[in-house]
Chain A
Amino acid sequence: MNIDNFKPAIVYAIYIASTPEKVWEALTTAEFSRKYFSALAVEAELKVGGAFVVRAPDGSVHISGEVIECDPRAGSPSLERELAGAGREARRHARHLRDRACRRRRPADADPGPRPADRRRHLSGGRQGWPAILSSLKSLLETGDALAIKWSRRSGCWRR
């Protein structure tokens, strides 16, 4: 798969008082994702070309995609160092982490040609969804509890 054609449609940045290891774990395991990702279970085969599946609580496949980049070692420098502005390399690293997370977690974009109506629907869902999901992730990592967000069926999300 050629990822050079990817254009970021949604880039969402959020700052979390945590470590890259914990954020990585939260992004890649069902144990965490069920708490902050509207009860959906993330199942990621953590290697390039591996399967990326998000399952609804009833076990059905909600989203399926493919892992495009995966480098857990990139998560090893501490976020505190990044937050303190350790230098250009650290910031590039953070951008890389963020870009990679975006790519890996938006498999809908991997399809080069969704119909414009579908694309609009995906984008609208993404604009509504990512802020809620990542806000909840931040709360979970900082306070131990995810947000109890009221989702509407209309926006394509699950009510908790």
Chain B
Amino acid sequence: MSKPEFVYINLYRDLGRETLARPDRRRLHRALLVRPSRRLRLEGGSPYKFARPDAPSVEGKVLISDPPRRLAYTWDPCSPDAKRERTSRVTFDLEPRGKVVKLTVTHDNLDEGGKTLRDISSGWPMVIASLKSILETGRALPADLPSSAAKEKADV
């Protein structure tokens, strides 16, 4: 693994079944990628975008798609101030642990002290916590969690 990297681990209840159900892990795998198009193929080399209503915020391409075990994609922020940083990589590893799934998010190949490292360090815990709430309760966490942009504005 290249440094610096960011690792975040979370565990998820396996829903509605006594044993680990493949469909649920597949659901988690799918939930990890926002699909701009229904026709997006989760295959190595496929492009993807995390799009906001106005413009894409992150784009990249799928590096590994091995459902329901591993998903990796490149991470290329579209904001001008992060544009100069090198393209980083996000890897999701899903492991069954009895009746729960262990999800490990590894974001590496990041620029030391860069904007991306700062953003994702506060971003992934929120996103992954919300994902856990969706999968376990059907409800996401409030959408108005403080974004890193709002945080920077307030800290100035």
Give the distance in Å from the alpha carbon of A150 to the alpha carbon of B146 in the complex. Answer: 34
- B126, B141, B146 pick with most chain A CB within 10 angstroms: B146
- B25 CB, min distance to chain A CBs, angstroms: 15
Bitwise, A120-140 to B at CB < 8 A (1) or not (0) is 000000010001100110110
Residues of A within 8 A of B137 (CB): 17, 142-143
Residues of B within 8 A of A147 (CB): 11, 13, 99-100
Known: A15-B125, A138-B129, A142-B136. A150 touches B141 (CB 8 A): no
A15: nearest chain-B partner, CB-CB = B129
Interface size class of A (residues with CB under 8 A): 20 to 34
Q: Which residue of A lies closest to B96 (CB)?
A: A150
Residue of A nearest to B142 (CB): A83
The smallest beta-carbon distance between A69 and chain B, in angstroms, is: 23
Which residues of A are found within 8 Å of B133, using beta-carbon distances?
Answer: 17, 138, 142
The tally of CB-CB contacts under 8 A between chains A and B is: 79
* Dominant SS among interface residues on chain B: mixed
Q: Could you tell me if A85 and B141 are in contact, using CB atoms closer than 8 angstroms?
A: no
Q: Across the interface, do B144 and A83 meet the contact criterion of CB distance under 8 Å?
A: yes
Q: Does A47 reach chain B (CB closer than 8 Å)?
A: no
A72 within 8 A of B: no
CA of A109 to CA of B133, assembled, Å: 31
Query: Residue of B at shortest CB range from A82?
Result: B146
The CA of A145 and the CA of B99, in the complex, are separated in Å by 13
How far is the CB of B140 from the nearest CB of chain A, in Å? 9
Q: A148 near B136 (CB under 8 angstroms)?
A: no
B129 near A16 with CB under 8 A, answer yes
Chain A residues lying within 8 Å of B139, measured Cβ to Cβ, are: 17
Q: Once the chains are docked, how many angstroms separate the CA of A148 from the CA of B18? A: 11
Answer yes or no: A88 CB below 8 A from chain B CBs.
yes
Q: In this complex, what residue of A is CB-closest to B100?
A: A147
**Of A17, A139, A149, the contact of B141 (CB 8 Å cutoff):** A17
A contact set with B: CB distance below 8 Å: 13-17, 80, 83-85, 87-88, 91, 127, 131-132, 135-136, 138-139, 142-143, 145, 147-150
Task: List 14 A-B pairs, Cβ < 8 Å.
Answer: A15-B125, A15-B141, A15-B145, A83-B144, A83-B145, A85-B147, A85-B154, A131-B10, A135-B100, A138-B132, A139-B132, A143-B13, A148-B98, A148-B100
